[in-house]
A = this chain, B = another copy of it.
Amino acid sequence: MSFLAAASTNINPGLKAMGYGLSAIGPGIGVGIVFGQGVNAIARQPELTSTIRTNMLLGFAFSEALALIGLVAPFIYTS
């Protein structure tokens, strides 16, 4: 039994979800630009399709990584 309980809610879960959301804005746009320009490059030089796709996937991986880091980042910040 507590006589004076000033119980404030823990809003960390909500703020962490917003943190991931913010980190997904950039990669979401970036991945779109990589593949959008990539298919244009394939249309221009069809015989280079495999080389272009390799580089597209390289750019995709580096951009997507930022969002996935944002997914695990809240577990890093514990205090």
A44 to chain B, nearest CB (A): 5
CA distance A38 to B8 in the complex (A): 50
Number of copies: 5
Q: Enumerate A38-53 residues with CB–CB distance to B below 8 Å.
A: 38-46, 48-49, 51-53
List the B residue with the shortest CB-CB distance to A64: B62
- Nearest first, the 10 closest Cβ-Cβ pairs linking A and B are A26-B28, A35-B59, A14-B15, A30-B32, A21-B22, A17-B19, A36-B37, A41-B43, A32-B33, A21-B23
A→B interface (CB under 8 Å): 1-46, 48-49, 51-53, 55-56, 58-60, 62-64, 66-67, 69-71, 73-74, 76-79
